[in-house]
Structures are given as C-alpha cells and as structure tokens.
Amino acid sequence: MKQSAFLALVVVLLLQWPPAPAAAMDMDSAHQRFSVTVVADDLEHPWSLAFLPDGDILVSEREGRLRVIRDGRLQPYPVSGLPEIRDWGQGGLLDLLPHPDFASNRLLYFSYSADIGWGWTTHVARGRFDGAALTDVEVLFQAEPASRGRVHFGSRLAFDGQGYLYVTVGDRGDMDRAQDLGDLAGKVVRLHDDGRIPADNPFLDTPGARPEIFSYGHRNPQGMAVHPETGEVWTHEHGPRGGDEINILRPGVNYGWPVVTLGIDYTGFTIGDGLKTHPDMADPLYHWTPSIAPSGMAFASDAFPGWQGDLFVGALAGKHLARLRLEDGKVIEEERLLEDMNRRIRDVRVGPDGALWLLTDHGSGQVLRLDPK
C-alpha cells in the first residue's frame, strides 16, 4: 500500500473511532450536587434541542442548518430538505418539536424566519424525518403581516396534553402590534397539529381579530414549557431594560405589553404612560429587573431529587442558568447556576433520561448535559 493511501485510511479510521468520553465537571447548588458534560461543540449559534425515540438528538443552528447527534457524536453533514430560511438578525432556523406520536408518524415541527413578499416573518412547518432528510414539508403557519425588522421573532413551540400546538411570536420590534388583535405579532397562537384553528380559540368570533390568537400583549417570548402536573402552558418573555416576565397562559388574556411593563426603554425613558399594572391585564408570575434575557425553559424531572419540580430558565445576557423554586404558584427561591462558565444559555430541555440539557449561544456553541450526583 502506498504511503499516501495508508495515511488516508488512518484518517478515515480515526474519524470513525468512537470519541473519548468528555470529562464531567462536578458542581454544587443549594439543593443538588450535579455534573456538567460537554456532549458536542463547534455548533454555530445553536437554538433548539429535540430528542427522538431512537436516541437521536436534533439541534437547530440559527444560520439554517439542522444537525444530528447520533451515538454521542455530532454528525458531519446537516439534514437536507429544509425550506428556504432567512438568516437575518435574530431570525433563522429556530425551535424544534417532534410530534407527540413521532415514533409512528416521524413528523418534526420547526419554526424559522422566511420571506413573504417584501418582508419576512415567523413560520412554522412540519416534515417527515427519515434520519437524514426531511420530506413532505408543509408550512402550517406564518405570522402576518410580514415586516423588515431584524428582531423579536419569538418562536418557541409546545404541544399541550390535549394535542394543541402553541406558537410564540414576538412583536418584531414594533411594540404597538402586540395589542392589535388583527396582527399576529406579539401573540401566542394555538393550532391543531395540522395547522387548523381550534373551534374554541378565544377570538374566533371577535370581529377583526385573527382566529389563531390564544393570548396577546407579549413582547418576545423565547421560553415555553408545559407544567408536568397541572398541564398549564408556561412562557417567559424578554422585557426591554428590565421586566423579563414569566407567565401562565390563559385563553384570551392580555399580558400587557407595551401598555404595562416593569422595564424601561433602552433610551432610559419610560414606555407609554409608565404603567406597572393594569386591572384588565395580567401581572407576571415573576419578573427580572434588570433583565437576564431569558431563553429556553424546562421543569426538572425526578431524576434530580433536590430539584424536582423546580423551573429552569436560560439567561443570554445574564450568562447563567436560573433555578426557580415554586410553592403554591409562586417563586419562593432563585439560584443562579453556571455563572463561572460565562456562557449564553439559549435552550433548556429535559432529556428522556431526566437529565437537563442546555445549548450555549455562540459562534462555537455547545450542547451540555447536567446529571445528578
């Protein structure tokens, strides 16, 4: 065998060889000792994680790539079959969500920004994932009207226990749109799994209102999770300078933005009339002032005895993982974890094994797994 061919064979074998297990870092918190393991890295601004029944893990990269972690290794080639995606500002390929019956129908839902005419907006589509490609892709939702703004696409997805699909949409940087029921910006919408509008949506019979709307008055919701005991859909959203909020979604409720906010404008001036509360609008269950820029949210599983039922929220600007202890529907304790890692936390998920999984939002982003000790 020629030397060049031999060297090529060695390179191929090394690339196929199982990687050495990543070293875990042991850490302490107020109630739970845990370890942190880097599962994958060198991802370009990863945005969302999704776990499949066969053990595969999907990761979206905001720039428009869908990646697969298989047998503990990030696969070198992205998934094919995605529609055209506009990677612009805070937009791109965003959230991922397998159908509740994914094992039988192979349907993967994903949100992304794409063009409509002269502008672009949040879209939700689904397709069948065969392990390497998406096929039969169909667009189920697009947040109209489109605009040319670079920010606030929102875009978390969740299925509740009844099979309804919830989609968050940001205000696209135009705050007054959040109060306009004829506009899908600044809203949470509720759909059937095939994109049809449920017959009991709260604004179905309201003249001039978009029937997809479930709640309104949102700024930029980038976290959504279903409570494991009550089945309630929880969200959080970015405030401006202060006023990041956690809310429990109720049909037809106005969550206030921009009429009510606990933050101020980036210029330092008050927003609107400076109201902090309003009798016709919901107060947040919890808020952060100054802002931590929350993204991703999950309730801990019973794999963590000291954290069971606690709510975990990633922080982008705050560069930490926030742990919130709940009692009687209120937050009674907050702890900030992983601050020494100095990483922007974009997504927080509970894996099939009960571990907490995180994404860090960087040009060389990581997949992290937190395990109980």
Q: Which two tokens stand for residue 303?
A: 């794999």
CB burial of 40-70 (b: ≥16 within 10 Å; e: otherwise) equals beebebbbbbbbbeeeebbbbbbebbbbbbe
Query: Dihedral through CA 239, CA 157, CA 250, CA 333, nearest 10?
Result: -60
* C-alpha to C-alpha distance for 71 and 302, rounded to whole angstroms: 25
Look at residue 113 and tell me whether its pLDDT is greater than 70. yes
- Mean predicted confidence (pLDDT) in 217-245: 98
- The answer to whether 124 and 167 have CB atoms below 8 angstroms apart is yes
Mean pLDDT of the chain: 94
- Residue 206, burial from CB neighbour count under 10 angstroms (0-12, 13-18, 19+): middle
Residue whose tokens read 């709510």: 311
Residue 2: pLDDT over 90: no
Model confidence at 20, pLDDT cuts 50, 70, 90, reads very low
Joined together, the tokens standing for residue 166 give 């919830």
Q: Which of 152, 218, 238, 287 is catalytic?
A: 152
* pLDDT tens-digit readout, 258-280: 999 999 999 999 999 999 999 99
Locate all alpha helices (DSSP H) within the chain, ordered by sequence.
Answer: 3-16, 102-105
Q: What confidence score (pLDDT) does residue 23 get?
A: 75
172 near 178, Cβ under 8 Å? no
Q: Is residue 167's pLDDT more than 80? A: yes
**pLDDT digits over 50-91, tens only?**
999 999 999 999 999 999 999 999 999 999 999 999 999 999
CA distance 112 to 167: 12
Q: Provide the residue type at 65 as one letter.
A: R
Residue 170 has pLDDT above 70, yes or no: yes
**Is the pLDDT score of 136 beyond 60?**
yes
What's the whole-number mean pLDDT along residues 144-167? 97
Q: How far apart are the first and last CA of the chain?
A: 50
pLDDT tens for each residue of 173-183? 999 999 999 99
3-state helix, strand, coil in the chain (%, to 5): 5, 45, 50
**Pair of tokens at residue 84:** 């055209």
d(CA 369, CA 303): 13
pLDDT bucket at 104, cuts 50 / 70 / 90: very high
d(CA 109, CA 95): 8
pLDDT at 10: 37
Q: Is the pLDDT of residue 36 over 90?
A: yes
Confidence band of 360 (pLDDT split at 50, 70, 90): very high
Report residue 22's pLDDT band, with 50, 70 and 90 as the boundaries.
low
Q: What are phi and psi of 7, to 5 degrees?
A: -65, -40
Alpha-carbon distances, residue 174 vs 125, 169, 187, 290 (angstroms) = 25, 12, 13, 22
- Give domain limits for the chain: 27-367
User: With pLDDT > 90 as the criterion, what percentage of the chain qualifies?
Assistant: 93
Helix (H) or strand (E) holding 67: strand 65-70
- Distance (Å, whole) CA 366 – CA 69: 12
- What homologous superfamily is domain 27-367 in, according to CATH? TolB, C-terminal domain (2.120.10.30)
Measured in degrees and rounded to the nearest 5, phi and psi for residue 213 equal -70, 135
Is there a contact between 180 and 209 (Cβ–Cβ < 8 Å)? Answer: no
**Could you report the per-residue pLDDT of 305-323, keeping only the tens digit for each?**
999 999 999 999 999 999 9
Lay out the sheet containing 57-61: strands in order across: 46-51, 57-61, 65-70, 73-74
Q: Is 152 a known active-site residue?
A: yes
Tell me, what's the pLDDT at 190?
98
Q: Is the pTM of this model over 0.85?
A: yes
